[in-house]
Structure 1
Amino acid sequence: MADALAPVRDAHRFDEAGLLRWMEANVADFGGPLSVEQFSGGQSNPTYRLRTPARDYVLRRKPPGILLKGAHAVDREFRVISALHGTGFPVPRPYGLCLDDAVIGTAFYVMELVEGRTFWNTAFPEVAREERPACFDAMNATIARLHSIDPASIGLGDFGRPGNYFERQVGRWSRQYLEDEDAGRVPAMDALIEWLPANIPPGEETSIVHGDFRCDNMLFHPTEPRVVAVLDWELSTLGHPLADFAYHLMVYRMPPGFSTGLAGLDLPALNIPSEDDYVAAYCRRTGRDGIERLDFHLAFSLFRLAAIIHGIKGRLIRGTASSSQAAAAVEQLDRIAALALTQTRTGG
């Protein structure tokens, strides 16, 4: 995991001796001593590197403090990683889940530390120009593979409710936005809450969806342009694969410096596939003729991202935001909500 490491932040400290005892009792072949550092990423769930003489691990936990209902579902993360690991899909090996808050203060799970590269910028500036198409193709192949796995065949048939995915998701994120009064209201979000339910496309599909499939939630091989681990499964569920893909695709509509946007960049000069080519590759891999109503899917995806950032804003105000980058993310809230509203007027 090639994310920045630092000493554990004061708000996220826990009883390391309690963790050591739990790991000695629950993780096969574990041996101390144990030292703990915190990753800079992990906006929602604090994430730590656990160092031991034999091997290193990663711990993901619920943040301390007052939490919104249904958020920070580390037990769901652990379940989906466990199921997917058995298929050979690129996820870390899971080691153990602890739902007893008495151990370190909140629920957590421990998984393998996968060595690899994290890319925070979707333009892949650190990668040689000739390798960038392969990086994009690796992401495309990985999300298409995820959407092609039959949930029931790996024990995830009840991982989410089938049907009415967009209706339920718009309702969920609308409620979460409206209930977090600390973070305030955003006019574009209010407009989207009206537009989205009235414009849901017909048709139902169900697959495993990651929910936050971005380049910075993947680890790439240390030297090769391939994905070795997909991380941060907190938002995973059973849902519409096009919602998941559009969320991944929306960087093509975001300007540079606006999250990790590609809009306005000279993609041929950078040797990055066009949005049309990227969509075509996904459709080819998943047996589609194309994606109708891409405007809705992108508006929904950007609305959902804005709702997530709105939640981060609330946690920042309450002092429970888990990432040192939380304030920078919150600064983009109004712009992302406005961009989401713009998609509703494209007619695409």
Structure 2
Amino acid sequence: MQTQADGVEVVATAGEVRPDRPQPLLVLDAVTAFFDAHGLGGGAVAWERTGDGQSNITYLIRRGADAFVLRRGPRPPLPRSTHDMVREARIQQLLHGSGVPVPRILAVCEDETLLGVPFYAMEWLDGAVITDTVPEALDSEEQRRATSAALVGALAELHSVDVSTGPLAAFGRPEGYLERQVSRFAGLWDTNTTRVLPEVDRLAGWLRDNLPSSEAAAVVHGDYRLGNVMFRRSAPATPLAILDWEMATLGDPLADLGYLTATYSDPGAIPNPLHLSPVTARPGYLSSADLAGDYAARTGADLRALPWYQALALWKAAIFSEAIYTRWLDGQRPDDTTFAPMLEAGVPALLHAASERAHLT
């Protein structure tokens, strides 16, 4: 944990923000005052950046013996619809008490003058996010299988929440969700790239021409994967919280299953930039096909169109990854020496994987 501002990512006071430098991500006096106003601990703020998110930014904040999590969007300018912290906090508030494991939201700041963007504070949970390492208690073959089964179970629980009435019914428009996804992401490509990749338009046409009929409406997380679920560190494998709700809306639940299975690391799979939890290739974890079968058994969903949803997921991933790559080329991600550089080849790899699901290769 750090307590001193570095003058770049974190500054001590708003007076230190300089127009000739990138806007800081934390302003310690502003954070301290906000936490004080909401009764969140006391004393000096210690901070540590955490998580593997490539979009929104998460900090562990400590004040003495108290710990909290602060979540904010990246530096502006940015499209509000993709980094809406108020909306992200709201869906977690609405799901609290539903049986879906979500962190408790403690305070939401809509005032952009404090950090340049809205942000929120939530409870800190002492759990494990499984990506390339696994807690010892969850690393037996039995617990690996239990972990992947619990991953599917939490998704099925999310999709079982009633969205037909109450505040959740107003959170999105499930009708036409798939059409809007294809149209929206197709329109994002030209504004987020400096290169020509013909597979983008080819896949957009195929997705439009083969649009499936949605069977149901549900809360769609939008980025559901093992790395966005926090587990208890002890056996049996139990989800503590589903994280990173920035893309949540109401829509077709198979979009989540398509994303989960298309980005899941199976043994022998050709790696792509969305294989963010490579541990699942180890013995014991369910395969992506097993995940889909388990989901169908729990929900009764018809999965005949699952390859379409997987193609959609990989195509969308290519487009938002290209935006990250372009921002890096423009010098907007100066500290990124690993993820963004690999997207030069990684985005075409995602498009190729999408084309394989669509049988266009």
* 2:206 paired with 1:188: no
State the partner residue of 1:31: 42
Question: For residues 47 and 305 of structure 1, do their structure 2 counterparts lie closer, same or farther at Cα, with a shift above 3 Å needed?
Answer: same
SS class of match (2:35): helix
Q: 1:62 aligns with which of 56, 65, 73?
A: 73
Q: Which of 84, 96, 105 is equivalent to 2:95?
A: 84
The aligned runs of 1:159-308 (5 Å cut-off) are: 159-181=171-193, 183-224=194-235, 225-252=237-264, 255-259=269-273, 261=275, 270-288=283-301, 290-308=302-320
Q: 1 CA distance for matches of 2:25 and 2:44?
A: 18
Distance 1:15 1:309 in 2: 28
Cα deviation, residue 336, structure 1: 0.6
Equivalent of 1:109, from 120, 136, 154?
A: 120
SS in 1 for 2:340: helix
Instruction: Indicate if the aligned counterparts of 1:138 and 1:227 stay in contact, CA closer than 8 A.
Output: yes
For the pair 1:71 / 2:82, whether they are aligned, the reply is yes
TM-score (norm 1): 0.87
Gaps of 5+ in 1: 1-5
Matched residue type, 1:82: Q
The answer (yes or no) to whether the contact 2:58–2:69 under 8 Å persists in 1 is: yes
Change (3 A) 1:278 1:330: same
- C-alpha spacing 1:322/1:197, structure 2 compared with 1 (3 Å): farther
8 A contact 1:117–1:219 mirrored in 2: yes
Q: Do 1:16 and 1:104's aligned partners in 2 also have CA atoms closer than 8 Å? A: no
* Aligned counterpart in structure 1 of residue 161 of structure 2, from 143, 146, 149: 149
- TM-score after normalising by structure 2: 0.84
One-letter amino acid of the counterpart of residue 307, structure 2: D
RCO comparison, higher one (Cα < 8 Å, 6+): 1
* Structure 2 unaligned blocks of 5 or more: 11-21
- The alpha-carbon distance between structure 1 residues 190 and 282, as it changes in their structure 2 partners (threshold 3 A), is same
Residue type of the partner of 2:294?
A: A
CA contact (8 A) 1:46 1:323 kept: no
Shift of 1:139: 0.2
Larger deviation: 31-40 or 162-171? 31-40
Q: Which moved more, 1:102-111 or 1:30-39?
A: 30-39
Deviates more, 1:321-330 or 1:229-238: 321-330
Structure 2 letter corresponding to 1:249: T
Matched, 1:334 2:343: no
Query: Is the deviation greater in 83-92 or in 245-254?
Result: 245-254
C-alpha distance in structure 2 between counterparts of 1:304 and 1:212, whole Å? 11
User: SS of the residue aligned with 1:151?
Assistant: coil
- Separation in structure 2 between the aligned mates of residue 322 and residue 158 of structure 1, nearest angstrom: 39
| Structure 2 contact 89–105 (Cα < 8 Å) conserved | yes
Alpha-carbon displacement from aligned partner over 1:190-241 (angstroms, at most 9, x marks no partner): 2112211111012442100100001111111112211111111001100100
Please, which moves more after superposition, 64-73 or 245-254? 245-254
Distance 2:342 2:134 in 1: 19
Task: Describe the shift of the 1:162–1:22 C-alpha distance in structure 2 as closer, same or farther (beyond 3 A).
Answer: same
Structure 1 counterpart SS, 2:65: coil
Relative to structure 1, is the Cα distance of residues 323 and 78 closer, same or farther in structure 2, using a 3 angstrom cutoff?
Answer: farther
Alignment: residue pair count: 337
RMSD: 2.9
